[in-house]
């Protein structure tokens, strides 16, 4: 039996088993990942800006 990687509850649907998350946790995981990627871009922009100011 597969369990959710986020909340450890049993996964009932094939789609959940395939993704490794229940439908709600999948949504939350995707949102968190999106937020993380947004921050990464922001940090990269910050570094690029600092590099420009140095030159």
Nearer of residues 18 and 39 to Zn ion, judged by Cβ: 18
38 by DSSP, 3-state: which?
helix
Nearer of residues 6 and 19 to Zn ion, judged by Cβ: 6
**Which residues fall within 8 angstroms of residue 1, CB to CB, at 6 or more apart?**
10, 11
Can you give the binding site for Zn ion, defined by CB under 5 A? Answer: 4, 6-7, 22, 25
Rg (CA), the chain: 18
* Least gap, CB of 18 to Zn ion (angstroms): 14
* Least gap, CB of 21 to Zn ion (angstroms): 6
């Amino acid at each position: 039996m597969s369990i959710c990687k986020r909340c450890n509850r049993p996964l009932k649907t094939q789609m959940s088993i395939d993704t490794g998350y229940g439908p709600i946790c999948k949504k939350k995981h995707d949102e968190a990942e999106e937020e993380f990627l947004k921050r990464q871009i922001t940090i990269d922009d910050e570094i690029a800006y600092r590099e420009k100011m140095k030159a």
